[in-house]
Amino acid sequence: MEFSEHIKTANVEDVVLQQPLHPPSKGTLCITSHHLLFSDREERSGRQVLLLLRNIDAVEKRATESSGTLVIKCKDLRVLQLEIPGMEQCLNIAQSIETLSCLDCVAEMYPFFYRPSNASLRDQWGLSTPERHYTEMEALHGRWRLSTVNQDYSVCPSYPPAVIVPKAIGDDALKKAAKFRQGGRFPVLCYYHRKNGTVILRSSQPLAGANRKRCIQDELLLQAAIEGSDKGYIIDTRSAQQAQQARMMGGGFESKSCYSGWKRLHRHMERGKTLQESLIKLVEACGDKSPNMDRWLSKLENSKWLSHVQTALSTAGLLAECVERDGRSVLVHGSEGTGSTLLISTLAQLIMDPSCRTLEGFLTLLEREFVQAGHPFQQRCSHSAFSHARLQQECPVFLLLLDCVWQLWYQFPLALGFSEALLLRLATEAYSSDYGTFLCNSDMERCALQVKGKTHCLFRVLLKPREREQYTNPLYEPNELAIWPSVHPQSLQLWRGFFLRWTQQTHHLELVQEDIRNMVIEWGKLALS
Amino acid sequence: MASPVSVYNSNVLDAHISSTSRESLKMELLADVTLLPGEERIIDKDIIYICPFSGAVKGKVLITNYRLYFKSCDADVAVTLDVPLGAISRVEKMGGVSSRGENSYGLDITCKDMRNLRFALKQEGHSRRDIFELLFKHAFPISHGLPLFAYVTQEKYEENGWSVYRPVEELRRQGLPNNKWRITFINKNYELCDTYPAVLAVPFKCKEEDLRRVSSFRSRGRIPVLSWIHRENRAAIARCSQPLVGMSGKRNKDDERYLDLIRDANDTAKLTIYDARPNVNAVANKATGGGYEGDEYHNAELVFLDIHNIHVMRESLKKLKDIVYPNVEESHWLSSLESTHWLEHIKLVLSGAIQVADKVSSGNSVVVHCSDGWDRTAQLTSLAMLMLDSHYRTLKGLQVLIEKEWISFGHKFTSVRNFTCVRPECRSGCLLGFAKNTAVCVCVCACARACVCLIVLVRVQRIGHGDKNHADQDRSPIFVQFMDCVWQMSKQFPTAFEFNERLLLTILEHLYSCRFGTFLYNCESAREQNALRQKTVSLWSLVNSKTELYLNPFYTPESGRVLYPVASMRHLELWVTYYIRWNPRIRQQQSPVEQRYLELLALRDEYIKKLEELRLSDSSRLADDGPGGDTSSPSPASSPTRQQHYTHLQTPF
């Protein structure tokens, strides 16, 4: 495809831009294949606004005879307004934005064109691999092995090429077990708890169906995972009723009789459309410009966003409690095993494992548990809260995860090695990015498109010295203990830093956080020199 | 550092709590209580505390002349209570000898600090009689002819908190007297106004007899006087009570002229009068002889700020308590919070203060009043001053602000309980507690020249079992609300305040504790009469003897900056660490954070010391170079001061 086909008007003069936190300014608007560029006409201000078209969630146009106004609503929740002289030019621009912001073809997206001068495509991509993860955890090696049964992605298209499974189970058995799990996501190990040797496994739902089909290899696999220890728990992120209903559609759950070593717990977590609609309602309430805000708290409550945060944190807490306090191994799944499953296994690891709480540890955790584990970023993050397009597979699971991590950060100001700024950056990058990290839906797709060879890696960049300094928590103190979040509604706060990000007050607080960080760094440099 | 939080629906997880009580431990339970100097043990007893969070907990209670202390004897359910008796507003017997049901016989204690306590005792042998009587006696000492603990304590501190606030010194700091404002001692015997301090600042041109005539036209003689003046533009904040306009629309030329003098002192065209009340309430006040300034006040504009009165605030706080104690509302928390209107009131108070501050910083003088000028007025003036003057944002400055705008200007700390006594001549009294059908009331007669304390026993009429309502009137939400507003500001400006949250919590704790003299009595005259400064210790002695506990390590002084907080519901938060502090499941991680802050303070001090050393070695090196040295190098005299070390990190705003 030629991008230029979609650009009828590339340049417009005398455009007035209004954006949050800045006074309106007049200048030149330029549209390119991937960006909207606005240059302030005033020489001395020299201000430019460069916006990735991918960041644009919705464009609203209001045209009069001589000019038009575009309201541009971004996925990072910024709302810009452009006044463009000439109706035709305005419509052309709108048209271009609408087309170019929703390119379906991944290979045409900006990360494939982004070539910063200080980085090379030959730089290492990613922070870790399943192989390295396995090698590092020597305590595992007695009973667990690294299987490459999925090296050509034929067993499970959404899994990475290598996964950790019980030593006693051979690759053939894995293939059979995969056939019994939705999308081939057979149970694999995702976390090993050093303190007591218990593990967290994750998978998708078993395809028991209405006839209560069984799969002996799947049963053996799970049995082997807890061989010689107490009963394990299965945390199903659906309600018991939902799980029953899933059987009618060919899915299901692990029955007591076939999986006698395991005890099932159901925790109902909202998913898909419900979550997306909740986000839309919340963002709508946050953007309400009416001066009369006396219904604000009700609106916040009605969006139900905070109750989703609560459910996620408390289910993750339950999981961590089983592992840390009760010393039981746990299998987590919902239906597909790529959304709420990953959400709570990630949060539980953050709660229990101090090594996940450093900047590097946290990014590695996200890479392993979301990117490599096959969270379909492209489907889930193609639109955010403003889009008028019909909802398809959008769902803000990753945003919900970041919000939950922020709640942990807020409740335990010393326990996490990274700052709110990092969470904000990730929340933006997941929806539109210069980097290839959040492209595609799985490792297989990324491999096919050579993402690792043709784009740059966000996580690597975040760990470069200058960026790293920006994203560290100055108050951080390593702490070996688990951090148990309080999940009462009174303890949960709206993540103002994200949802009210483009207000003066939040902006001011961001700057203050930065000041505090610089202050502490400077004290440390001199006082400890 | 893991908090004892376990709130997941963990029905599958057995709690392995052994219930074996450890007898040996039991004996020494109370051994580790550290009593204050002057504090004496009154009684201790085996008792069951009906904990709203852990259920019935066996333990021992100790009552001293200062506190009620409880410790559980079961080490697995570690529950400790440490309640200053001053925080108790009501003690009642619960159940009778013949009451059925487990733990139905005991004591019910209502506190002013957002909690209630319930204890159960053995039903046989009148086991609660002695403890009830002793607790009742010592929790309400005045009604039993006993001194308040503040008069008994033998605590000694390095610092003397009573010297924190000196009225004349504070006025001098603001640049007074000048050619427009003077300091007057007309009220030195509290004759002009019994609830005002002795030292007042008034317009220069105003004569003493004018002040007397004005005082006859202002409710309780509370004439407009200066609270604060802007150093550069000379705009002033003056405070007073409502004018006594009444139904007939009385006028007072002297009052009109006086307000015009305030305007004139700053030479602006218009004086803005902020009436804190809603318009309707101000009109309604005419019926009782009050009112507001009408058109007869030339060159003045009147603005109503719509802040509700103390009764509305008390109801709001009561509603808030209902949803946070003992059980926190779970399912509809936010809408329940909204229906208390507490945050909305906070918003109105803040936005009122913002208007005042904005007017003053743009160069216009203002007069602030409500009805009596000691509740909403104090909130508005003190918050506006906090926004305008960075001095009040320091540790000592906040103390001065509270001493000045609240304590010296007659906020009714003691009788904010606002109980209407049945004795007709008693205009406002304070309820101290109940015994059987009798309310114990200390009457503070506003009609008397000075506050005379009487002890009256009144039969509670037609209240009978419904006495619960009275218990909830025992709080002073106005000052709490002010502290809440300060907290909201400190959240919005994390580097602008020298003090930390702990200071605010400590102040609120001792608002009720009666351990310090600071918040005793309603006005300066009563304090003098009771030799408060000589006989009691100031709360600021405690604070200033251990300042590092109350300091914010990230404080960055910025002297000229006016802080305008955002008074929007979206940016206000419930002060969970205060209002829900008794709930162990909600409590956030205070102690490790405080510990870390102490470390950071030490690190900051080390940094400043090193910086100083570097500078000294630099300057000595320069001195060694001799007179022929490079003259363009900075001289030691121009080296930055300690203050500038922080300010180079100023927030660009």
Nearest CA in chain B to A326: B13
A483 vs B2, B492, B651: nearest CB: B2
Do residue B333 and residue A490 have CB atoms under 8 angstroms apart?
A: yes
Contact A487 B600 (CB under 8 A): no
Residue B625: the pLDDT is 58
Give pLDDT tens digits for A345-385. Answer: 999 999 999 999 999 999 999 999 999 999 999 999 999 99
Please tell me the distance in Å from A414's CA to the nearest CA on chain B: 7
Distance of residue B10 Cα from the nearest chain A Cα, in angstroms: 7
Distance in Å, alpha carbon of B315 to nearest chain A alpha carbon = 18
Chain B residues with CB under 8 Å of A487 CB are 7-8
Contact yes or no for B333 and A489 at CB 8 A: yes
* pLDDT score for A415: 93
Contact B487, B578 (CB under 8 A): yes
- Residue in A265, A314, A491 nearest the CB of B12: A265
Which residues in B lie closer than 8 A to residue A505 (C-beta atoms)? 492, 566, 568, 571
* Facing residue for B585 by CB, picked from A233, A486, A496: A486
Report DSSP letters for A471-501, one per residue. Answer: HB-TT-----S------SGGG----HHHHTT
Q: What are the pLDDT digits (tens) for B554-609?
A: 999 988 899 999 999 999 999 999 999 888 877 666 678 888 899 999 999 999 99
The per-residue pLDDT for A240 is: 95
pLDDT at B624: 64
Of A419, A415, A347, A353, whose CA–CA distance to A136 is shortest? A353
Structure tokens of A43? 């020489």
Please answer yes or no on whether A286 and B332 come within 8 Å at the CB atom: no
Contacts of B338 in chain A (CB under 8 A): 294-298
> Hey, are the CB atoms on A527 and B600 less than 8 Å from each other?
no
Contacts of A238 (CB under 8 A, 6+ apart): A246, A266, A268, A269, A334, A335
Q: What is the chain B residue with the closest CA to A21? A: B653
- Between chains, do A489 and B344 touch, taking CB under 8 Å as contact? no
Helices (H), A226-339: 240-248, 272-287, 296-303, 305-320
Q: How far is A313 from chain B (nearest CA, A)?
A: 9
- Determine, for residues A515 and B580 on separate chains, whether the beta-carbon distance falls below 8 Å: no
Q: How far is B648 from chain A (nearest CA, A)?
A: 10
The residue among B8, B332, B614 with the most chain A CBs within 10 A of its CB, best to mutate, is B8
Low-confidence ranges of chain B (pLDDT < 70): 1-29, 415-476, 587-590, 622-653
A280-287: long-range pairs with CB below 8 Å, 24+: A280/A385, A281/A305, A282/A385, A282/A499, A283/A77, A283/A384, A283/A385, A283/A386, A283/A499, A284/A385, A286/A77, A286/A499, A286/A500, A286/B570, A287/A77, A287/A79
Q: Which long-range contacts (C-beta less than 8 Å, at least 24 apart) are formed by B335-343?
A: B335/A297, B335/A298, B335/A301, B337/A297, B337/B574, B338/A294, B338/A295, B338/A296, B338/A297, B338/A298, B340/B316, B341/B316, B342/B316, B342/B317, B342/B574, B343/A297, B343/B569, B343/B572, B343/B574
Candidates A297, A304, A310, A504: best to mutate against B (most CBs of B within 10 A) is: A297
User: Which three-class secondary structure state does DSSP give residue B70?
Assistant: strand
Quote the pLDDT of residue B195: 94
Q: How many whole angstroms separate alpha carbon A170 and alpha carbon A217?
A: 10
* pLDDT score, position B459: 31
Judge whether B441 counts as a catalytic residue: no
d(CA B190, CA B196): 7
What does the pLDDT read at residue B593? 85
Chain A residues with beta carbon closer than 8 angstroms to that of B611 = 526
Per-residue pLDDT of chain A (529 residues; tens, 9 = 90+): 578 888 888 899 999 999 998 889 999 999 999 999 999 877 666 678 999 999 999 999 987 777 889 999 999 999 999 999 988 889 899 999 999 998 889 999 999 999 998 888 888 899 999 999 999 999 999 999 999 999 999 999 999 999 999 999 999 999 999 999 999 999 999 999 999 999 999 999 999 999 999 999 999 999 999 988 889 999 999 999 999 999 999 999 999 999 999 999 999 999 999 999 999 999 999 988 776 656 899 999 999 999 999 999 999 999 999 999 999 999 999 999 999 999 999 999 999 999 999 999 999 999 999 999 999 999 999 999 998 888 789 999 999 999 999 999 999 999 999 999 999 999 999 999 999 999 999 999 999 999 999 999 999 999 999 899 899 999 999 999 999 999 999 999 999 999 999 999 999 999 999 999 999 999 988 887 7
**Cβ of A512 and B574 within 8 Å?**
no
Residue A45 is predicted with a pLDDT of 66
Cα B334 to Cα A133, A304, B340, B623: the distances in Å are 43, 10, 10, 66
**Chain A residues within 8 A of B488 when measuring between CB atoms:** none
Q: List chain A residues with CB under 8 Å of B651.
A: 508, 511-512, 515
- Per-residue pLDDT at B266: 87
CA distances from B581 to A489, A491, B87, B437, B647 (A): 15, 11, 15, 33, 35
DSSP B195: T
3-class DSSP state of B124: helix
Nearest beta carbon to residue B5 from set A294, A486, A529: A486
Query: Distance between CA B253 and CA B257 in Å, rounded?
Result: 6
Alpha-carbon gap, residue A411 to B584, rounded angstroms: 14
CB B510 within 8 A of CB B539: yes
State whether the Cα torsion B382-B387-B389-B393 is positive or negative.
Answer: positive
DSSP string, A380-401: HTS--SS--SPPSS---HHHHH
Q: ∠B185-B189-B194 over CA atoms, to 5°?
A: 100
- Looking up tokens 């022929």, which residue turns up? B628
Nearest to A489 among B330, B343, B600 (CB): B330
Chain B residues with CB-CB distance to A317 below 8 A: 7-8
What is the C-alpha to C-alpha distance for residues B369 and B293, in angstroms, rounded to an integer?
A: 11
User: Distance between CA atoms of B397 and B399, rounded to whole angstroms?
Assistant: 5
